[in-house]
Homo-oligomer: A and B are copies of this chain.
Amino acid sequence: MKKSIGAQTIVFPTPVFIVGSYDKKGQANMMNAAWGGICSSVPPSVSVSIRPARYTYQNIIQKKAFTVNIPSTKYIKEADYFGIASGKKENKLKKAELTAIKSDIVDAPYIKEFPFILECALLKTLEVGAHTIFVGEIKDIKVDENCLNEKGQPDMEKIKPFSFDPATGRYFEIGKYLANAFSVGLSIQKE
């Protein structure tokens, strides 16, 4: 039996994206954004939703660029802190003792210590009520070499990302391998 719980912002899983941008003075800032995901295959694009009040909002409008930094579980404290503090008031990267590197492709910083980085050029925006969707064209992905598999592709089990549960406000690990996509369902297709 199903129960209505009303209109809420809950899906599973929800990512933990740390969005990197530069302010007018060239200072790197990072924010924690749970509302986002891949949004097109051609060009490869990712979206993140940001409120106008966020420091990152004006940064992206001005620089037309941002990064998406995926933290490993090792940096869960730092990732959460980026969602608590504001770049208007403090230098978050300095306080978190993490290193901002200037992307060589777009005008945005990424976090040296995080294993998986998307470098994005602002492509489009769309206002949806309280948030604006920023669509970034993924210009390159940079991955820690020790997080690649034998085919040179990112190995999620080495990257160790985590997810956010918006229903209860908690972080969870990625769990065990279950099955291959475009494969496990073929048995139904063939019936």
Which residues of chain A have a CB within 8 Å of any CB of chain B? 1-15, 17, 34-47, 49, 68, 70, 73, 76-85, 95-96, 116-118, 123-124, 126, 128-131, 133, 135, 137-145, 148-149, 152-156, 159, 161-189, 191
Contacts of A117 in B (CB 8 A): 2
Q: How many copies does the complex hold?
A: 2
A3 touches B140 (CB 8 A): no
A82 and B77 CA atoms in complex are apart in Å by 38
Contact B161 A13 (CB under 8 A): yes
Contacts A11-B70, A170-B180, A189-B85; A35 near B44 (Cβ below 8 A)? no
Q: Are B80 and A12 in contact (CB under 8 A)?
A: no
